[in-house]
Structure formats: C-alpha cells, structure tokens
Amino acid sequence: MAEPEKDIVTWEDLDRLVAQLAEQLATEPAPDVVLPISRGGLVPAGMLGYRLGWRDMLVASVVVYDDESGFRGHAEFLQFPSDEHLRGKRVVIVDEVWDSGTTIKAVTERILAAGGHPVTAVLHYKPGKSRVDIVPDHFVVETDAWVVYPFKAGK
C-alpha cells in the first residue's frame, strides 16, 4: 500500500493559515463563545483569540479517532459545556482539520440542541474524506492529504 500524501505544516505555515482564517471570521459578527475541539483545535483557537480579541473560550473534548483503533465511527463526549453556556449564543467551533467531519457535526448538533448558533471553522477541509452531510462554514485549505501540524511533532 502506498504512503499517503503528506502536507507538513510548519509553525510559520500555521501562523499564515490562522491569519487567513482570521480574515474570514473577521467579516462576521464576533462570537459570543469560542469552542475549540480538543486537542487539535486548541492551538488554532488560541491563535485566533489573540488575533481577533476573543476571550470567552470553552472546550469540547470529543473522541472519534484514537491511536489504537483509528476511526471509531461515533463521537464520545468526554467534556462539553452546559446548555446554559450555549443557549442563544453564536458559537464558533474551531478545529484544525475536517477529516470525516464526524466530530464537528456531533459538536454542531449538541450546540443546536442547546439552542445555540454554531459556526464551523477549520484550517484544512478534506471533502473526499468527509462522511457527513454538512460542510465547514470557514476553511483555508481543501486537501485530501494527511496533514501534519507542528504541535503534533511526535506523530
């Protein structure tokens, strides 16, 4: 089996990608809450927060992939904000990559069920790998390559 194509992202690349995503998000109303998906969304969300002045951040800890079995096929929520923190609020969900889309769709559904208004933002979108019926509201790069981020150096 052939080695998958890889997109190696340096810290400089990451800064450029986040700047491009920030430009897109700056054209919309500011979020009431930013919800990075742990772990991959934490670094880009923090960088966006500094660029755009966002401070109110919560965390969604969700497992769809794991090191042992790969894709699990469903989302397991380890930590998620209560409905009161999301109800009636514009919630920008940040993740580094939209692969199957399963994680971000599960988070989007939880926000909608709580009465919030989700907006999705990712650095890399993989339409050829997506398994869901939605697409990201904001993304910078469309690819099907395996993306290696600098904060995942050991992987």
- Count Cα atoms within 13 angstroms, Cβ side, for 57: 21
- For 128, phi and psi rounded to 5 degrees? -75, -15
Mean pLDDT of successive 10-residue segments in the chain (155 residues)? 83 98 97 96 98 97 70 81 98 96 95 98 96 96 95 70
Taking the CA atoms of the chain, what radius of gyration do you get in angstroms?
15
pTM for the predicted model, two decimal places: 0.92
pLDDT score, position 139: 98
pLDDT score, position 63: 86
CATH class entry, domain 6-144: alpha beta
pLDDT score, position 152: 84
pLDDT score, position 154: 58
Check: CB of residue 2 under 8 Å from CB of residue 63: no
Instruction: Determine the 3-state secondary structure of 3 from DSSP.
Output: coil
